[in-house]
Amino acid sequence: MGYRSKLGVALTAVALVASGCGSSSKPLTRAELTAKANAICKTVAAKISSKSANNEQQIARVAGELAGFEQTALVDLSKLVPPAELEADWKQFVSGAQTLAENTAKLGEYASSKNLKAGKALILTSENTQKQMVVIAKRDGLTACEQVA
């Protein structure tokens, strides 16, 4: 797998970047949750398309930038309360986002130490997590999130 593909896997974690979601103390409706998540994913798609890397040094730089951004997004997403019928899916989706965010940071560390080969298992884990997130996104109407998860 080339550097660009590895970066693509790592950058997918950005799919959960929140922009002004705010917190909710009561459950959101399905429409509210999907609208907020889709808005977030649209923003993320723009961020992903603005980043590219062709070598380990660039991957290290980009992954490092994104890891902090992703962690902030996870905090914001955790504030959203899904409706009861989406609770299990939402927990799994946010957990997947956490895994991807952690993997982005680790991939950046591997690239910084010029050891991307060590990231192979990490990349496979990320790919599997992405597949699970896409299934949830399709099932729950997170159409913009399908494109970036």
Q: Which domain holds residue 143?
A: 3-14+25-148
CB 41 within 8 A of CB 13: no
* Position 43 confidence tier, pLDDT thresholds 50, 70, 90: confident
The arithmetic mean of pLDDT across residues 45-54, rounded, is: 76
Q: Let me know if residue 63 belongs to a domain.
A: yes
Q: How many CA atoms lie within 13 A of 49 on its CB side?
A: 8
Q: Which residue has the tokens 């494109």?
A: 147
The total of structural domains in the chain comes to 1
Q: Let me know if residue 20 belongs to a domain.
A: no
Q: Let me know if residue 9 belongs to a domain.
A: yes
With a cut of 90, say whether residue 44 has pLDDT above it.
Answer: no
Pick the residue with more confidence: 131 or 38? 131
Q: Let me know if residue 8 belongs to a domain.
A: yes
* Distance from chain centroid for Cα 52: 16
Q: Measured between alpha carbons, how far is 7 from 60 in angstroms, rounded to an integer? A: 10
